[in-house]
Amino acid sequence: MMDRLIDRIKKKNAPIVVGLDPVMKFVPEHIRQEAFAQYGETLQGAAEAIFAYNKGIVDAVCDLVPAVKPQIAMYEQFGTPGLIAYQKTVDYCKQKDLLVIADVKRGDIGSTSEAYAVAHLGKVTVGTKSYAPFDADFATVNPYLGSDGITPFLNVCREQKKGIFVLVKTSNPSSGEFQDRLVEGRPLYELVGEKVAQWGETCMGEQYSCVGAVVGATYPEQGKILRRLMPKTFILVPGYGAQGGKGADLVHFFNEDGLGAIINSSRGIIAAYQQEKYARFGAKHYADAARQAVLDMKEDIARALENR
Amino acid sequence: MMDRLIDRIKKKNAPIVVGLDPVMKFVPEHIRQEAFAQYGETLQGAAEAIFAYNKGIVDAVCDLVPAVKPQIAMYEQFGTPGLIAYQKTVDYCKQKDLLVIADVKRGDIGSTSEAYAVAHLGKVTVGTKSYAPFDADFATVNPYLGSDGITPFLNVCREQKKGIFVLVKTSNPSSGEFQDRLVEGRPLYELVGEKVAQWGETCMGEQYSCVGAVVGATYPEQGKILRRLMPKTFILVPGYGAQGGKGADLVHFFNEDGLGAIINSSRGIIAAYQQEKYARFGAKHYADAARQAVLDMKEDIARALENR
């Protein structure tokens, strides 16, 4: 699956993933009103609004980017109707030939971890039949529980040709509380990074393994070290844009071949129309604003990579 | 909410939580057949089967225990129909006056963490209305992302009088890979434990805070240390029974007042009828077997506490 992601990145010349993290305050008034008129101010009304909003964005950017990353929490907060909207979003993106990174950050052990892997990447057996419940291409996974939490995901990845991205160094200010603590003189995230590389050896594609890593754009120096520690690991980089990461910070996450990283932007793209820079589009044309924000991001990253 | 849990534990004289982690192979044939006859071998058929199975167990144990702990992964693997069964399970348990610990192990940052907190413990706003999507009493949370992931949960806990249990030292064999690594001579789980105690200070009940900890029964020595490090923290202890934890191992998790810990058993109770010890009940009477397993567990723990 990582090979498919690389192939798409090359084709579209864009190491970019659009984060589909719909917050109600991002959803333009006209979409909210239409959904509420039909379904009321209910969880279903909210779910329909965010799905309609997502569709607009996906239609506007699907020719530009290789992948999207829906953040499941934003759907889960609207209960089961929200999760149905999540599933419809995944399906719609796949119809539009986008790869889907399910940002679920699940992490458990043994049969429970297997259940999460099956839910998001695999197939579940019911009697004599089998079903792919959410059927994303990649999922994000939390490493705190160790190999017992990762192995069931690797089994599903090998079987179904899917991939995972393991949290290594997250983009948030307090990520250092535990991740930066020194273990025998080295920060914990390096140890996690080494484990990610090891797990990946059991599941190699052409150049990169099916086990990616999440490393925040807000920590470029750490990114440089992790890039060297995990040469065959694809890095998913959140924190660009709204969280403060800039194009120039990103170059460290890429290998010499110009590959090895994919940069996520969520708010910066899906709510671009709310920024002064893109205000001219207006709420009605939020999707065009999102498209322009992707084009600008693409240029920002390309320029940074040229100048490195 | 921790005060309510303590109150129930005292009333029922049972520091026990029943893990509702339904796996299809635990569900007796007659329940599966009935669900498949009505809904086919579909995700919904599976979801209905596990809900019917849960109801039997809940009916049989609800007078004996203060709380249940549904493991959401086991429902998530059946897609949105599975999550509807999860929600129905939570609702049913609350009707039966049980407290519900949502074993979701979510962990993210900022607005995303807030969305998870809202989904499982809080209320979400839709236009002028608000809804409690899954509405459990407690949720389990992963600490790897630091305070940015915990604070949004604390806000919801204070507002809605709910609680969380943060993973500190998990019960699985590989939990040590990261959790036991020495930071300035002390294992990481101790640092996480100290943070749990600090987070809890901002959210105190009568004797215990609303921030509990998860510490596996399979690590009694670590439990002893953590008990001292977090005197006002309630400990949720998985790993009893099927994972190898014994009554005698559990005493270290309790404070002198006989409180401070609640022991989970999942398989050991819900699939008791599949054990030789309870085979006499047969699959038809799986719920009676579960009841007997709770009674035996209660006695095992009471005896261990007497003998300490």
What are the start-end ranges of the H helices in chain A? Answer: 2-12, 29-39, 43-61, 73-76, 79-95, 110-120, 147-160, 176-179, 188-201, 220-229, 247-250, 267-270, 286-306
- Tokens 């049980």 locate to B98
Q: Which chain A residues are closer than 8 Å to B42 by Cβ?
A: 126, 129, 131
Judge whether B12 counts as a catalytic residue: no
For A32-78, write each residue's pLDDT tens digit: 999 999 999 999 999 999 999 999 999 999 999 999 999 999 999 99
Residues of chain B with pLDDT under 50: none
> Residue A45's pLDDT is what?
98
CA distance B208 to B259: 10
- Residue B25 exposed, middle or buried by CB count within 10 Å (0-12, 13-18, 19+): exposed
**Residue for token digits 């225990």?**
B65
Residue B171, phi then psi, degrees to nearest 5: -80, -10
Name the minimum distance, in Å, from the CA of A29 to any CA of chain B. Answer: 11
Q: Which of A12, A94, A105, A232 is catalytic?
A: A105
Among candidates A234, A228, A241, which has minimal Cα distance to A274?
A241
* Torsion angle, alpha carbons of B217, B87, B45, B57, to 10: 50
To the nearest 5 percent, what fractions of chain A are helix, strand and coil? 55, 20, 30
Concatenated DSSP letters of B206-251 = SSSBSEEEEE-TT-HHHHHHHHHH-TT--EEE--BGGGSB-HHHHG
| pLDDT per position as a tens digit, B154-180 | 999 999 999 999 999 999 999 999 999
Which residues face B212 on adjacent strands? B165
pLDDT in tens, B213-252: 999 999 999 999 999 999 999 999 998 876 666 778 899 9
The mean pLDDT of A230-241, rounded to a whole number, is 93
Shortest CA distance from A189: residue in chain B: B178
CA distance A180 to chain B (A): 10
Q: Given A106, A174, A183, which is nearest B146 (Cβ)?
A: A174
Interface of B with A in 280-299 (CB under 8 A): none
pLDDT of residue A242: 66
Radius of gyration of chain B (CA): 19
Strands A67-70, A16-20: pairing is parallel
Residue range B2-306 forms a domain whose CATH class is alpha beta
User: To the nearest 10°, the Cα dihedral for A67, A73, A74, A80?
Assistant: 110
pLDDT confidence of residue B1: 79
Q: Is the pTM of this model over 0.90?
A: yes
Tokens 């599903």 belong to which residue?
Answer: A156
B133 touches A43 (CB < 8 A): yes
User: Above 90 in pLDDT, residue A244?
Assistant: no
- Give the mean pLDDT of A107-118: 96
Q: How many CB pairs under 8 A join A and B?
A: 220
Q: Decide if A275 touches B, using CB distance below 8 A.
A: no
User: From CA A261, how far away is CA A223, in angstroms rounded?
Assistant: 10
Specify the pLDDT at position A245: 66
* Residue ranges of A 159-218 with Cβ closer than 8 A to chain B: 167, 170-179, 181-184, 188, 191-192, 195
Q: Is ipTM over 0.90? A: yes
Angstrom distance (rounded) from CA A31 to CA A46: 10
Report the side by side order of strands in the sheet with A182-183: A186-187, A182-183, B182-183, B186-187
A291 φ, ψ to 5°?
A: -60, -45
Q: Helices (H), strands (E): how many in chain B?
A: 13, 12
Q: d(Cα B8, Cα B137) in Å, to the nearest integer?
A: 13
Q: Which two tokens stand for residue B40?
A: 């086919």
Give the closest residue to A271 by CA, choosing from A30, A54, A99, A84. Answer: A54
